Amino acid sequence: MSESWKESALVRAVRLAVLIGVFVALAIGNAGTVRAGENPQNVSLQLRQGPQNIAAVLTWTGIRDTTASYEVYRRTPHDLSVQKASVYATVPASARKPDGTVEFVDPQPTSLPDKPCYSIGAKVGAAAPDSATPDLCLPTLPGPAMVRLQVVSNLGPDANSWYLTGTNFAPGSDVVFREGASRATACAEGTPLGAAQATSDGYAFLLLRIELPQGRHTVAACQPGWLPEQLQEPPTVVLPTTQAGVGLGYPLSARTGIAEVDRVLEAIQKGPDSMIALLHPHEATTNAGETVIGVPAWQCGEFVSRETLSQQATEAMPPTSLLYAVYRIDPGRAQWQLFKGADYAIVLANRGPRDPRGSVATVSLEGIVGFGWACQALPSFFVRANAGFVIPPPTEPTGFTLPGPAPFAPGAGNTLVLRQRAPLLPIILTASASIALASFWFARARGWWRWRRERLHD
């Protein structure tokens, strides 16, 4: 068998393998479904005043395939680990406008109060979409809900920084903080300073770092999709031109004069062993509704800490912490399980890679009955169900400062994944390599037998 014949056989085998590999990969990856990442774009949600009630209008740019229809999902505003979504409506391909946009009008947006958020998936053929757009949740509606909205500020850790906290916003809705000349014009004409997504209990948090011109400045908490009259009546707070920075918090040696609080502060200061000794496991309810013995906790969502209780509590309440605030808990506003049965909340602060990181210990006469930490939460995030400060957040420099400021970087949002799917490139490479190897050995064997027959006939 000549070397040239073996070389041509190998080349033919590789070419054939690549073509077959690509075909197999595309068949596996695209069997009647939308390719990963091919979701509608430029999705917006706008309230519209109808003759009898308020409608929600969703608008988006359709995918390249003009035959695609779309599924609209309603989903809960919680983190993805407990996300619940369901198909709410189907929009046919005929709804696509000449400019490529699609509109869906929901005449009853409040019909599913536990699922106030929308996602959209593109559907080609009979197969269901494998992904959908990031969620857009209903903004706060006009009426009594608007009256309850508030925004407050606390001095931030470094120069010209402020903790902004909005309260009573619709769960999961986007909140954009804007600086403007007046309350009536801030939302429509003001400069955007940063954005946050309201938590499931209606809080929105932002650490604002900015140098403002001379004078006092109105900062409004606005929501995309509001009606025109809502844009003129947002909650606002007035910020001064500058502030020197108050530091991250107080030293853990600070005391309140309240025995059940001070013994926890002392235990955290001494270290993990002393703090762990004050943990008070008790009956609590898991996300699955099961009653267990543990300590209610929060880390990007609520859960009950049991098997790794000591480890998680040590991570949440390290002795390197500083004290941000102590407050009495209002039991009537305590939605989180870790607040229930507690009298006081101790909010801690630690240095993070960019912004300070907060954590909380909730205490009673029995000891530490709950705690929360992580998920990039600011210290102000854990000031909720507040019935009054025992030690307020710093208002004067404490001497404990952070590294230099970093620019605001908005998050990319979260995407609802309906069905996991392997990416195409690894499939192509794996299929091609496997088929190439098999084809080469087949061609080599075939060539050997041809050469063998030729020798026998000679």
Q: What was the pLDDT predicted at 401?
A: 57
Residues 104 and 88 in one domain: yes
Q: What was the pLDDT predicted at 50?
A: 84
The 10 Å CB-count burial string (b at 16+, else e) for 154-176 is bbbbbebbbbbbbbbbbbbbbbb
Q: Could you tell me if residue 250 is inside a domain?
A: no
CB distance 73 to 121 below 8 Å: yes
Helix, strand and coil in the chain, % to nearest 5: 25, 30, 40
CATH number at residue 105: 2.60.40
Q: Could you tell me if residue 231 is inside a domain?
A: yes
Cite the DSSP H helix spans in 250-304: 259-270, 272-276
The per-residue pLDDT string of the chain (458 residues; one tens digit each, 9 = 90 and over) reads 454 444 455 445 545 544 544 444 444 444 333 344 589 999 999 999 988 899 999 999 999 999 999 999 998 886 545 567 789 999 999 999 999 999 999 999 999 998 999 999 999 988 888 888 988 999 999 999 999 999 999 999 988 899 999 999 999 999 999 999 899 999 999 999 999 999 888 999 999 988 777 667 899 999 999 999 999 999 999 988 788 889 999 999 999 999 999 999 999 999 999 999 999 999 999 988 899 999 999 988 889 999 999 999 999 999 999 999 999 999 988 889 999 999 999 999 998 877 899 999 999 999 999 999 988 889 999 998 999 999 999 999 887 654 444 333 333 233 333 333 334 344 444 444 554 455 544 445 455 445 444 444 44
CB distance 222 to 151 below 8 Å: no
3-state secondary structure of 197: strand
Rg of the chain over all Cα atoms, to the nearest angstrom: 29
Residues 272 and 326 in one domain: yes
Q: Which of 367, 391, 415 is the last residue of a domain?
A: 391
Q: Count Cα atoms within 13 angstroms, Cβ side, for 347.
A: 27
Q: Round to the nearest angstrom and report the end-to-end CA distance of the chain.
A: 14
> Alpha-carbon distance 77 to 197, whole Å?
10
Residues 6+ apart with CB under 8 A from 403: 351
> Alpha-carbon distance 361 to 357, whole Å?
14
Residues 430 and 343 in one domain: no
CB distance 356 to 349 below 8 Å: yes
CB distance 371 to 303 below 8 Å: no
Q: What was the pLDDT predicted at 15?
A: 57
User: How many other C-beta atoms lie within 10 A of the C-beta of residue 320?
Assistant: 9
Residues 57 and 8 in one domain: no
Q: For residue 64, what is the DSSP state?
A: S
Residues 6+ apart with CB under 8 A from 172: 76, 77, 116, 117, 135, 137, 197, 198, 200
Q: Could you tell me if residue 397 is inside a domain?
A: no
Q: Could you tell me if residue 417 is inside a domain?
A: no
Q: What was the pLDDT predicted at 14?
A: 47
Cite the DSSP H helix spans in 150-292: 183-189, 228-231, 259-270, 272-276
Residue among 245, 114, 236 at smallest CA distance from 175: 236
User: How, if at all, do strands 291-298 and 41-49 pair?
Assistant: unpaired
Residues 6+ apart with CB under 8 A from 31: 127
Q: What was the pLDDT predicted at 78?
A: 67
Per the structure, the count of domains in the chain is: 4
Q: Could you tell me if residue 249 is inside a domain?
A: no
CATH number at residue 150: 2.60.40.10
Distances (CA, A) of 173 to 121, 196, 357, 417: 20, 9, 23, 20
- Reported residue count of the chain is 458
Residues 120 and 210 in one domain: no
Q: What was the pLDDT predicted at 334?
A: 86
Residues 319 and 379 in one domain: yes
Q: What was the pLDDT predicted at 5?
A: 43
CA 372 to chain centre: 17
Crossing angle for the helix pair 3-29 and 424-457, to the nearest 10 degrees: 150
Distances (CA, A) of 6 to 380, 443, 454, 456: 72, 8, 16, 20
> Alpha-carbon distance 233 to 238, whole Å?
15
Q: Could you tell me if residue 396 is inside a domain?
A: no
Q: Which of 391, 411, 434 is the last residue of a domain?
A: 391
Q: What was the pLDDT predicted at 397?
A: 87
Residues 348 and 285 in one domain: yes
Residues 317 and 227 in one domain: no
Residues 6+ apart with CB under 8 A from 30: none
Q: What was the pLDDT predicted at 32?
A: 35
Q: Could you tell me if residue 244 is inside a domain?
A: no
Distances (CA, A) of 255 to 326, 345, 382: 10, 14, 20
Dihedral angle sign, alpha carbons of residues 395, 399, 401, 404: positive
Residues 129 and 173 in one domain: no
CATH number at residue 357: 3.10.450
Q: Could you tell me if residue 375 is inside a domain?
A: yes
Entry pTM: 0.74
Residues 133 and 225 in one domain: no
Q: What was the pLDDT predicted at 170?
A: 95
Phi, psi of 146 (to 5 degrees): -65, -35
Q: Which of 91, 120, 137 is the last residue of a domain?
A: 137
Two tokens at 211?
């140098």
Residues 195 and 302 in one domain: no
Q: Give residue 56's domain range.
A: 41-137
Residues 334 and 375 in one domain: yes
